[in-house]
Amino acid sequence: MTMEAWGRVKDSLVKRIGKNNYTTWIEPLRLADLSEGVVRFEVPTTFFGDWVSRNFADHILSFLNAEGQSVGRIEFLVPTRPAVSEPAKPATRAKPAARARAVQDDELPGASLDARFTFDSFVVGKPNELAHAAARRVAEGGPVTFNPLFLYGGVGLGKTHLMHAIAHELQARQPHLRVLYLSAEQFMYRFVQALRDKQIMDFKEIFRSVDVLMVDDVQFIAGKDSTQEEFFHTFNALVDQNKQIVISADRAPGEIKDLEDRIKSRLQCGLVVDLHPTDYELRLGILQQKVEFYRQQYKGLEISSGVLEFLAHRITTNVRVLEGALTRLFAFASLVGREITLELAQDCLADILRASDRKLTIEEIQRKVAEHYNIRLSDMIGPKRLRNIARPRQVAMYLAKQLTPRSLPEIGRRFGGRDHTTIMHGVRKIEELMTSDSQLSDDLQLLRRLLQG
C-alpha cells in the first residue's frame, strides 16, 4: 500500500472518530507492512495496540478495504527499540462542513467553528497575554483600531483557538456582522474552484462583502502565486472598506518565505503579536483547567497535583500534545482500573515523553539566537558575511550541533544549503572563542538555558 493510500485512510479516520481520538490514537501508529491480508502497525506500548484494536480496528479495516486493499486483520507490534516518533505535527482538522456555522447568512464559504475554542476556555499566561488582549479587543467588534491583527507562533500554541474565540464572541455580541473564518488552504481551494467553475466574480463578491475576515495559517499560500494575488486584492478591498481582518501564521510576516513583499508589508501594517512558547506556569494552568472535564467524564478518577506538575514540567512541545497526554492517561487508567500515579503516567506516556525530550529543532535555535543578537532570522540562512551576522550564525550552528541529534550535512541544509565543512568550521570557531571570550560564553549559557527551558 502506498503512503498516499494510508494518508487517505487517515483522512477518513479523522472525520469518523474526531480530532482528539485521531491525534491520540491514530497519529502515533506507524504503518509497518501490509501483506497477505494482514496489516501491521508499530505502536508504542501493548496497551496502546489493545486500545486501538478494541476501539478503532473496524474503522481502520473498513477504510483500508474502501481503498481497495483487501485486509482482514490488524496486528500491532511493539518495537524492542523505541519507535522513532516524529515530532508532534498539527493534527489534521476534519474537513469542515461546506457552510460556515459562524454566519447567519449561510452563503459564506467558511469553516465551521469548534465550540470548545472560546475565550472562557483559553488560559492566559505571560507567553500569550498580548495575543489574548488583542484578540479580545477585536472581538468587541468596535471601531477598527488596527488592521490586520496578525497572530503568529509555533504549532499548538493557541492561534486557531483565539481566532475561533473571536468569531464566537462577535457572533454573540454583534449577530448582524458577517464573520468569515477559514484557513488559507480553504481560501486557495475556493479560489481554484471558482476559477474552474468560471465563478470568479461571485468569489470576489462574497469575499468582499464580509465584515470580518479571518484567515488561519496564511503561510500556506506562500509560493502559490495566483492565490496570493487574489488574497492581496481581497485584503486591500476589505481594508479600504475599514473591515476587520485577522490573520494567523506560524511565523512573522517578514519571515514567511516566498510571500510577495507587498503582501508582507501589508500584513505588517496592523498589529503583529506573537504567541510565545508556553512556560511551566501556563502549561500547569492549562492542565488544571482541562482536567475538570476529565474528572467529570471519568467519574471517580483522580489525578494528583504532583502528576500534573510532572506533565507540565516534562511535556514542553505544545498544548495539543499536552491535551493528548491527558486524554490518554485518563483512558488508560480507567481501562486498567488503576489510579493515576506517576509510574502509570511514565509508563503510558513513554513515547510522548521521549518525543518531548527531543523537541528542539534547528529552526528554534536559529530563531532564538537571531532574537538574542537582534538580527533577522533570514540572515541566519542568508549569505551575508559581516561579522555581526556571521558570528551569531556560527553560534546557532554550534548550538544546533550540541543540542540536536542532527548531522553536519543536515545542519548545513538548514543553514541555507551550506556545506558540512562550513558548519564544522563554525562549530570549531565557537569552541575556540568560548574559552577566551567571556561574553560569548555567557551568551551561550543563556541561550542554552532559554532553549532547553
Where on the chain is the footprint of ligand ADP (CB under 6 A)?
A: 90, 117, 121-123, 128, 155-161, 286, 319-320, 323
Q: Which residue number, 151 or 399, has a Cβ lying nearer to ligand ADP?
A: 151
Q: Which residue number, 64 or 287, has a Cβ lying nearer to ligand ADP?
A: 287
The site partner of 155 among ligand ADP, Mg ion, none (C-beta below 5 to 8 Å per kind) is: ligand ADP
Q: Do 365 and 277 form a contact (C-beta atoms < 8 A)?
A: no
The site partner of 286 among ligand ADP, Mg ion, none (C-beta below 5 to 8 Å per kind) is: ligand ADP
41: helix, strand or coil:
strand
Question: Could you give the CA distance from residue 250 to residue 262 in angstroms, rounded to a whole number?
Answer: 19
Rounded least distance, CB 248 to ligand ADP, Å:
7
Q: Which residue number, 11 or 437, has a Cβ lying nearer to ligand ADP?
A: 11
- ∠ CA 180-258-214, nearest 5°, is 10
Instruction: Give how many residues touch Mg ion by CB under 5 A.
Output: 2
The site partner of 323 among Mg ion, ligand ADP, none (C-beta below 5 to 8 Å per kind) is: ligand ADP
Rounded least distance, CB 155 to ligand ADP, Å:
5
Q: Does 219 participate in binding Mg ion (rule CB under 5 A)? A: no
DSSP track, 35-73: ETTEEEEE-SSHHHHHHHHHHHHHHHHHHHHHTT----E
Q: Do 312 and 280 form a contact (C-beta atoms < 8 A)?
A: yes
Q: Does 160 participate in binding Mg ion (rule CB under 5 A)? A: yes
Rounded least distance, CB 12 to Mg ion, Å:
21
Buried-state track 328-340, b at ≥16 Cβ within 10 A, e below 16: bbbbbbbeeeeeb
Question: Could you give the CA distance from residue 157 to residue 150 in angstroms, rounded to a whole number?
Answer: 14
Q: Which residue number, 161 or 359, has a Cβ lying nearer to ligand ADP?
A: 161
The site partner of 161 among Mg ion, ligand ADP, none (C-beta below 5 to 8 Å per kind) is: ligand ADP
Q: Which residue number, 286 or 389, has a Cβ lying nearer to ligand ADP?
A: 286
Chain residue whose CB lies nearest ligand ADP: 158
Q: Which residue number, 164 or 393, has a Cβ lying nearer to ligand ADP?
A: 164
Q: Which residue number, 74 or 157, has a Cβ lying nearer to ligand ADP?
A: 157
Adjacent-strand bridge partners of 76? 41
Question: Could you give the CA distance from residue 242 to residue 145 in angstroms, rounded to a whole number?
Answer: 10
Q: Which residue number, 232 or 293, has a Cβ lying nearer to ligand ADP?
A: 293
Rounded least distance, CB 389 to ligand ADP, Å:
30
Question: Could you give the CA distance from residue 117 to residue 23 in angstroms, rounded to a whole number?
Answer: 17
Q: Do 262 and 291 form a contact (C-beta atoms < 8 A)?
A: no
Residue with cell 490586520: 148
Chain residue whose CB lies nearest Mg ion: 160
Q: Do 100 and 114 form a contact (C-beta atoms < 8 A)?
A: no
Rounded least distance, CB 292 to ligand ADP, Å:
12
Q: Which residue number, 113 or 369, has a Cβ lying nearer to ligand ADP?
A: 113
Rounded least distance, CB 153 to ligand ADP, Å:
6
Q: Do 311 and 278 form a contact (C-beta atoms < 8 A)?
A: no
Which part of the chain contacts Mg ion (CB under 5 A), choosing from 31-39, 160-168, 364-372, 440-448? 160-168
The HSE-up count of residue 370 (CA atoms within 13 Å, CB side) is 16
Question: Could you give the CA distance from residue 351 to residue 435 in angstroms, rounded to a whole number?
Answer: 38
Q: Which residue number, 320 or 418, has a Cβ lying nearer to Mg ion?
A: 320
7: helix, strand or coil:
helix
Question: Could you give the CA distance from residue 418 to residue 416 in angstroms, rounded to a whole number?
Answer: 6
Task: Provide the terminal-to-terminal Cα distance of the chain, rounded to the nearest Å.
Answer: 41
The site partner of 382 among Mg ion, ligand ADP, none (C-beta below 5 to 8 Å per kind) is: none
Q: What are phi and psi of 182, to 5 degrees?
A: -160, 165
The site partner of 404 among Mg ion, ligand ADP, none (C-beta below 5 to 8 Å per kind) is: none
Question: Could you give the CA distance from residue 311 to residue 236 in angstroms, rounded to a whole number?
Answer: 45
Buried-state track 292-301, b at ≥16 Cβ within 10 A, e below 16: eebeeeeeeb
Rounded least distance, CB 384 to ligand ADP, Å:
31
The site partner of 28 among Mg ion, ligand ADP, none (C-beta below 5 to 8 Å per kind) is: none
Question: Which residues have a Cβ under 8 Å from the Cβ of 265 and sit 6 or more positions away?
Answer: 253
Rounded least distance, CB 434 to ligand ADP, Å:
36
Q: Does 186 participate in binding Mg ion (rule CB under 5 A)? A: no
Rounded least distance, CB 453 to ligand ADP, Å:
17
Rounded least distance, CB 186 to ligand ADP, Å:
14
Binding site for Mg ion (CB under 5 A): 159-160
